[in-house]
Amino acid sequence: MEFKVGDKVLFKKEKQSGIIVKVNSLYKVVVETLDGFEIATSTKDLVKIEGNTDKSSAYGTHFYTKDTKENKSDTSKQVRGQSVLKIDLHIELLTANFQYMDNFEIVQIQLNECHNKIEKALNSNYQKLVIVHGIGTGVLKAEVHKLLNNYKLRYYLSKDAGATEVML
């Protein structure tokens, strides 16, 4: 990814953000953090923040809602869609103020959401459960798999390992 002066960036390995103030080369830049410190860093340790991607509106405005009358016309699609429950555990979808939480708190919120949705799926007529935990370092994936083992459910990973599929 090519960076230029004025780009807003996040550090991948630290909870810090800033603005690029100098580009030394294609691989090295100087970032001024929100605290006012200048840090020379590698571009592979940075993620560029695009405009409005930190808000839920970045995911679009048209979402499937169960109670609309337009969706009731095709009953075969509705029955097939009801047999699969998708749980997205990305923290930005679960809470608004996740920037102020540490990793332990974030994982606990995600696991609590996953636990509640598994209970919902087991107490209804869902046939399949898709848990989107993301690729990341694998901490959340390991915790989700422990939770599924507690329920004695069989599961397998998707091709990109960003989701776990469970047959109920």
How distant, in Å, are the alpha carbons of 22, 23, 24, 45, 132 from that of 4?
8, 7, 10, 15, 33
CATH code for 74-167?
3.30.1370.110
The answer to whether residues 47 and 16 touch, using CB atoms and an 8 Å cutoff, is no
Q: Model's pTM, two decimal places?
A: 0.52
So what's the pLDDT on residue 136? 85
As given in the structure block, the two tokens for residue 27 are 């691989």
Residue 71: pLDDT band with limits 50, 70, 90: very low
So what's the pLDDT on residue 47? 87
How distant, in Å, are the alpha carbons of 37, 64, 111, 151, 166 from that of 78?
54, 11, 28, 28, 20
In whole angstroms, what is the distance from residue 28 CA to residue 24 CA? 5
Return the H-helix or E-strand segment holding 77.
Answer: helix 75-82
Phi, psi of 26 (to 5 degrees): -65, -20
Report the range of poorest mean pLDDT among 28-42, 43-57, 85-99, 117-131: 43-57
